[in-house]
Structure formats: structure tokens, C-alpha cells
Amino acid sequence: MEVSVEQQLRASCDQTFKGYRDLIAAHRVKVRSVQVGTVLSVEEGIAQVNGLARVHAEELLEFPHGIRGLAFNLDEDRVGVVLLDHYEKLRAGDEVRRTERVLDVPVGEELLGRVVDALGRPVDHLGPLEAAVRYPCERSSPRIMDRAAVSVPLQTGMKIIDALVPIGRGQRELILGDRQTGKTSVAVNTMLNQTDVVCVYCAIGQQTSAVANVIERLRDHQRLQQCVVVVASGSDPPGAQYVAPYAATSIAEYFMSEGRDVLIVYDDLTSHARAYRQLSLLLRRPPGREAFPGDIFYIHSRLLERSTHLLEELGGGTLTALPIVETEAQNLSAYIPTNLISITDGQILLSPNQFQKGILPAVDVGRSVSRVGGKTQLPIYRAVAGDLKLAYAQFEELEAFSRFSSRLDKETQQRLDRGRLVREVLKQSEDDSLDVAEQVAVLMAVTGGAWDAVPLNLVQDVELALRKRIEAEPALRQRMSQGGRLSSDDQEMLLGLAENVATEVRRAN
Ligand code: ATP
Ligand code: MG
């Protein structure tokens, strides 16, 4: 059949126009409006910007040279922006662009073993981070109905804490003390003692060398692979120091939402409060007590409220927080320490006097508390350390008074001797960590009276000997590790062992 000229023409036209149609479809122009503003001035960590009329509070803004900032103060004619990156290259007159999103950080398994900055960018030279999921830095805390009671202990490996101020998973326990009293050391030792807990260490406003030491310790103990380190050092802009703990908490929350147990350390929130005070004053917000802004309580409680124990239906994950606060001349009633004491579920107070006397860890037992941890403590501790805290605190008072009198009655002398023995046993070096069985054996020996005759200078040796001795009793060790109440036979056996090692060590010396 012959094809008419008309049909041929039509077919060729169709083909040509189809080509055009495809071309047009492929090149559809997408129009997107981006609001651009101008930098008016740059101060310490702050930029004043105008021309961003519809910017949202806390919105992420982009400056030239990859510098980013958060819209903080929304005034009628200008926006006060907190800068998150080093801002030396930023000049008045530079352009600012809106991003229409809030600050977020990469989260996920990829972060384990990595060191990142406050915006989640790696700083450890291990290559780029390939994280598929991002969480906003500011997330609301879990609802009350989603929270379960704190029920599982978090063993720190330190006798003085596990026995006297126990911490539960999902609890917030403040570590506070003057400078150089071993605050970081208590937190890092706790991180080193974990086996099944993901740890996030957030360094705020510290010297880079101090952070490097912590990372080195984690690496030496093969723990770094289970940890994430978030660093905003003292040389970073105050904006980065301000957002770092929120970013670190989002990273930790990812693991909690996967049903895992997570421990987060904020080292330290005094620097965080100072960075926020600097930003607030530069933004001309009204200063309050100690020149801190009025919302300083809110920014810390908003942060720490995110730690919790989730219900079983939500995965049962926990986030335990160990915020650190530095005091000046042991002044607990300064603004930031009192705020944090009232936000957290207890505090571990480190005493410079004890530190100077070499009583380490320098925990001030009388003034340290754990408001929820006691309920989670393993039952096995009750038998050996039930009233130890009270007795020890009383001993410290008694010791202070007994300095004034030369003659003491027999009972007082016995209490003093026992107290000194307990103090010697509670000493622990930084690199030493005891599991439940070892702790219970040692505490049992003291409270059961098996070591009353041991001279104080031999206590450490006797303790080591006992720890070695129970290695040879796997069945007993196993029963103790389970944490249930000890049978009276086991208790007798333990006391027998403790007396034996004490006699052996005394004979050898
Ligand atoms: P800063 O105020 O500078 O942050 P800090 O309170 O965090 O100090 P650390 O850095 O933890 O204190 O400890 C101070 C010093 O005490 C360190 O050199 C540390 O090694 C030592 N130290 C802390 N705890 C112990 C311990 N249990 N045994 C031996 N040394 C310890
Ligand atoms: Mg420290």
C-alpha cells in the first residue's frame, strides 16, 4: 500500500516535535528563591546581618569560605548570627544566604572510633565520614510516658563509686570539683570500664593536648572503637563550643534509639556556660547573676533532659549522662554548680584536700549522693556495703574531732581504725579497674573484719593477693559476678580466703 505524501509529512513532523518536547521536558527551569543578606559587622564569634527579613530563629546560614552560622537574635532591622566556624576571613559587606534548615549532624555506626568537631566533621585524618542519617542538633527530650525507671547499674570499676554512690543506666550524675582534682579521670575510667556500652565523650573549651590525652587513653585500652569523641576546643569559636554538647547528644541518641546503652560525658559544662555567656553578652542580651543570661538554666536542663531510659516497647535503650562542672575554691553555691546540682540526679564531689593527701579517687563521700542509683545497685553490694557510706562519713567527722583529744575510748578507737582501713581500701589508681566479684570480695573482707589486724601500709598488697586468690575460684567468682545475694556459705568462704591472704602477706613482710 502506498503511503500518501500527507501521511509521510505528518510522521516526520511528529518525530521532530517529539524531539523538541523531550528537550523542553528535560530542560525545565526550576526557579528557587534564595534570600541573600549582607554582613554588617563581625565581632568575637558573632556577625550582625541585614536583609534577611524572613529568616527563622536557629536557622542555619551560609557565609562565604564555607563559614556557617545560626540565626540567634531576630531584630527588626538586623539578625544576630552566632558563627560556628573560624571567621577570620569574614568581612563586612560579605553575602549571607538562608538555607531554610536547622543545624544537623551525621549519626550512625560510622561514627564509632571517630573524632569529630561540633558540626560532625571528622578531625582525625581517617578520611571522610559516610553517614547516611543526620539528626538535628536540637531535639526534644523523650516524653514522660516514653520513659522507664532506671533499673540497671552502670559499673564504673571504681570501688568508691560502685559501692557508695552507684550510678544507674539512664541517670544523670554530676561530677564536680575544683581544677585538677581528677574529674576527667573519673569520667574516662568509667568509659574504659564499659564493655557493652557505647560512649560519647564531648570535650568543650579544653586545651587540645588534654583532649589528645583522653583519646590516647581510650586507644591504649582498645576502647576507642566503641566511642565517639566530639571536640570543640578552647581555640574554636564560642558558637562551636555552645552547640557541641547538643550535637554530641544527638549522636548518642541515635544509638539509644537502636536500643543500645549509651554513656555521654560532657567535659565540661562550666566552659559551655562561659561560651554561652560570651555570645549572649555580645548579642546584648540582658545579663543576670554572675553576668550569665537568664536562660542559662534552661539551656542546661534542655540538654540533660535528653538522657533517659526508654520503655521496652521503644527499644529499651538508655542514655546515661556524666556532666562535669568545675568549681572555684570549692564553692558549690556559685550559679552554674547549683543549677546543675538541681538538674541532675546526684553528684560526685571531688575534694582538693583529699587529692593533695593522695587519697585517690578524691571522692568526698559525705557530700556525694546518687538519688536513683541506689535502687539499681546489685543486691550483692547490700550485704557488703549496705551502711558503709554512713559509717564512712561518720568516721571522717570523728577523725576530724579526735585530733583534739589524746585519750579515746576503745570503741571510738576501733571505729577510727576501721575507717582508716576502709579509706585505704577505697583508694584506687587511675589504671586499675575492678569487676563486681573483685570489688565485693575486697569490701567483704573489710566490712567482715577479716583485715582489722592488717597494717595500713600492707593493705594494697593484701588486696592484690585476694584478687589473685579469687581468680583461682571460678565457681565462686561466677556466683559473685551474677550480682545476686551471697549465700552464708559463700560469705564464710570469702572471709576465710581474705584472712588467709592477710596472714600470708603479713608473714612475707
Ligand atoms: P582539669 O580541671 O584540668 O580538667 P581534672 O579535674 O579533670 O583537671 P584530671 O585531669 O582528671 O583532673 O586529673 C588530674 C591529675 O590527677 C592527672 O594527672 C591524673 O593523672 C591524676 N589522677 C587523677 N585521678 C587519679 C588516680 N585515681 N590515681 C592517680 N592519679 C590520678
Ligand atoms: Mg578535666
Low-confidence ranges of the chain (pLDDT < 70): 1-2
Q: Which of left, alpha, beta for 348 (phi over 0: left; psi -120 to 50: alpha)?
A: beta
In angstroms, the CA 251 to CA 256 distance is: 9
CATH 2.40.30.20 intervals, the chain? 36-102
Q: In terms of Cα–Cα distance, which of 388, 154, 146, 138 is closest to 247?
A: 138
**3-state DSSP assignment of residue 206:** coil
C-alpha of residue 430 to centroid of ligand 1, in Å: 8
pLDDT digits (tens, 9 = 90+) for 374-394: 899 999 998 788 788 888 888
**Segment (H or E) for 265:** strand 261-267
Angle between helices 459-471 and 474-481 (to 10 degrees): 100
Q: Which CATH number fits domain 36-102: 3.30.390.30, 3.40.50.170, 3.40.50.2300, 2.40.30.20?
A: 2.40.30.20
pLDDT for position 446: 93
C-alpha of residue 466 to centroid of ligand 1, in Å: 27
Query: Could you tell me if the CB of 189 is within 6 A of ligand 1?
Result: no
pLDDT for position 2: 65
CATH 1.20.150.20 intervals, the chain? 383-508
Give the list of residues 6+ apart from residue 372 with CB closer than 8 angstroms, or none: 150, 168, 171, 345, 346
- Cβ–Cβ < 8 Å for 236, 117: yes
Q: Which CATH number fits domain 106-377: 3.40.1160.10, 3.40.50.300, 3.90.1170.50, 1.10.150.120?
A: 3.40.50.300
Ligand with minimal distance to 433 CA: 1
Q: Which atom of ligand 1 is nearest to the CA of 360?
A: 27
pLDDT for position 12: 87
Q: Whose CA is nearest to atom 31 of ligand 1?
A: 430
Cell numbers that stand for 78 in this block: 538586623
Query: Could you tell me if the CB of 360 is within 6 A of ligand 1?
Result: yes
Task: Please write down the HEC assignment for all residues of 79-116.
Answer: EEEEECCCCCCCCCCCEEEEEEEECEEEECHHHCCCEE
CATH 3.40.50.300 intervals, the chain? 106-377
Q: Which atom of ligand 1 is nearest to the CA of 210?
A: 10
Q: Catalytic site residue 469?
A: no
Q: Whose CA is nearest to atom 22 of ligand 1?
A: 182
pLDDT digits (tens, 9 = 90+) for 49-108: 999 988 999 999 999 999 999 999 999 999 999 999 999 999 999 999 999 999 999 999
0.85 cut: is pTM over it?
yes
pLDDT for position 27: 81
C-alpha of residue 389 to centroid of ligand 1, in Å: 24
Q: CATH top-level class for 383-508?
A: mainly alpha
Give the list of residues 6+ apart from residue 295 with CB closer than 8 angstroms, or none: none
pLDDT for position 20: 86
Q: Which atom of ligand 1 is nearest to the CA of 427?
A: 27
Query: Could you tell me if the CB of 361 is within 6 A of ligand 1?
Result: yes
